[in-house]
Amino acid sequence: MKPLIPNPLRRQVAELVVVRASGHASDQQRRYPQWELSNTELQRLLGDGVGGVILLGGTSTELAHRCQTLKQWAKAPILLCADVEEGVGQRFEGGTWLVPPMALGRLYQQDQNRALNLAERYGRCTGYQAHRCGLNWVLGPVCDVNNNPANPVINVRAWGENTETVSSLVCAFQRGLTIEGVLGCAKHFPGHGNTGIDSHLQLPVLEHNLHQLEELELVPFQAAIKAGVDSVMTAHLLMRNLDASHPATLSQTVLQNLLRDQLKFEGLVVTDALVMQAITQTYGAGEAAVMAFDAGADLILMPEDADSAIEALCKALQSGQIPMQRLEASRERRRKALRKVDDCSNKFLLNNSTSNNNPLERDEDHALAKELVSASLEILHPGPITATDSGINLLRVDGVLPCSVLTATAPALVLPSEAGFQNVLHHNLGISPWQDDPKEPLALERMSSGPILLQLFLRGNPFRGDRDRHEPWAAVINQLQRQKRLAALVVYGNPYLWDELTHGLDTGIPAVYSPGQMPEAQRQALSYLLKPAKVHSNSQPALLQEFTD
């Protein structure tokens, strides 16, 4: 790759680029090498002035050391961020993994004060642990109003389904971040909640007019701005009635006229990742960077090629296509943000503080995680249920290889196994489990004839589109009930699937819903269904049979 030419303009432009890196130290440990730069490239780009890094993967201890290394390579204050919408433990082992924000949206309908208290503690836990790990910028809160149940990518990431709920909870979360001294980021402007398409895969198109936006989508962003949120992330979607030609990320009408002029936002505007196919299907790396910056973005997140983006921006500034004043305005916003967080001072780093006496997760963080799970569980007809020798624990997961929620020691496997159920895993690789029969779609002849504990790990996840939406789980429930084989149902994640399936559930069938999918959620959900079992120190989950599609 052509090296950057060290000159003042190039370094100034490079400050506004945020590149992707692994939280692991070694190149061989990169989880997504197509996006995560090698150490050689990272060190070169940071040395040439690139001003931000977004990280994913590794342990919290590795992350702390990684952040220190990146700062040394940069030789200047940089922005270090991560998508830790559900706590640091969502992305980095050793941190606290919290339930998805939608859990508090549902709780808010019953107990507003408790939900607001938990949301602020949620923000404080996330901010504290991010700061200790060396991050100074949390890419949250999600300000999208998830008013489309078929939304394949926002879903439980949103704090709710109406403006009051989302506005109140995102402000509480932001207060928590501010107390802990990290930057927040309201996303995805002007609102990704009513889309039925994943912008990681293609460009969603919305027909909303300005009045509709003002009544719904913009309300939580206005609240977050009033609460002092430090940055706003753009959405890769086409608002046809605002700008029929450009996605919001590349639209001056959306970023300048609407966000800056009408909503009076004065902080940092950052693009969503420019490697997403909603952008790359139409625009090259340099072209997208120039269009986003010209439209009003300050920071260019994950351009498809950092060198091409910097080169194109330099040329646009030198030619006068973009005035130099725009460059200095964005640099000053970035400097202001960095001054605010004081570059994550060394006293917050984990380097010498991960001993048993000072772990990352405090007692109060662990207690918060447990309370969030228990407060968000929904239970119909609690058990206990009992297995026979032929009982089946049938699990469906929407992500494997690796599956962070379903390791070999996950409670969803271990606890049913200890209770006498045989584990059978259904995932999205291999032979289809479906029969061509709308009334009896599941090929049950491949399993024993005993009772079935059905556990569904399904939620909106990036890059999966609507591939899970059309699976006939309602028909499966009916099929199992007709055959008197449904012992119990557990849904982890998607509240809309839970509502749909319990609508057709026979009276008396035990069922539990948890917005969270993490081990603590599994443990608490299954405690309502299974009799406590004596756990031996050498116990292991029963052999997992794969039942795949």
Catalytic residues, by residue number, are 200, 272
What backbone torsions phi and psi does residue 449 show, to the nearest 5 degrees? Answer: -95, 15
Is there a contact between 90 and 84 (Cβ–Cβ < 8 Å)? yes
Q: Please, what sign has the CA dihedral across residues 516, 518, 520, 523?
A: positive
Q: Kindly report the three-state secondary structure assignment for every residue of 170-185.
A: HHHHHHHHHHCCCECE
What's the helix, strand, coil split of the chain in %, to 5?
40, 15, 45
- The structure tokens listed for 468 are 């899970």
**Given its phi and psi angles, is residue 346 left (phi above 0), alpha (psi -120 to 50 degrees) or beta?**
alpha
CA distance to 92, 94, 318, 521, per residue, from 89 (Å) = 5, 6, 44, 14
CA distance to 3, 23, 315, 495, per residue, from 26 (Å) = 22, 9, 35, 39
Determine the Cα–Cα distance for residues 134 and 66; give it in Å rounded to an integer: 8
Q: Please, what sign has the CA dihedral across residues 324, 330, 334, 340?
A: positive
| Nearest by Cα to 66 from 22, 28, 27, 29 | 22
Bridge partner list, 519: none
What is the side-by-side strand order in the sheet with 231-234?
185-189, 231-234, 268-270
Element (H, E) at 114: helix 112-133
- The structure tokens listed for 243 are 């700008």
Determine the Cα–Cα distance for residues 419 and 533; give it in Å rounded to an integer: 6
3-state secondary structure at position 260: helix
Determine the Cα–Cα distance for residues 142 and 154; give it in Å rounded to an integer: 9
Is there a contact between 452 and 485 (Cβ–Cβ < 8 Å)? yes
Is there a contact between 255 and 269 (Cβ–Cβ < 8 Å)? yes
Query: 536 Cβ partners below 8 Å, 6+ apart?
Result: none
Q: Rounded to 5 degrees, what angle do the CA atoms 22, 405, 452 make?
A: 160
User: Residue 114 burial by CB count (10 A; 0-12/13-18/19+): exposed, middle or buried?
Assistant: middle
- The structure tokens listed for 228 are 């002092």
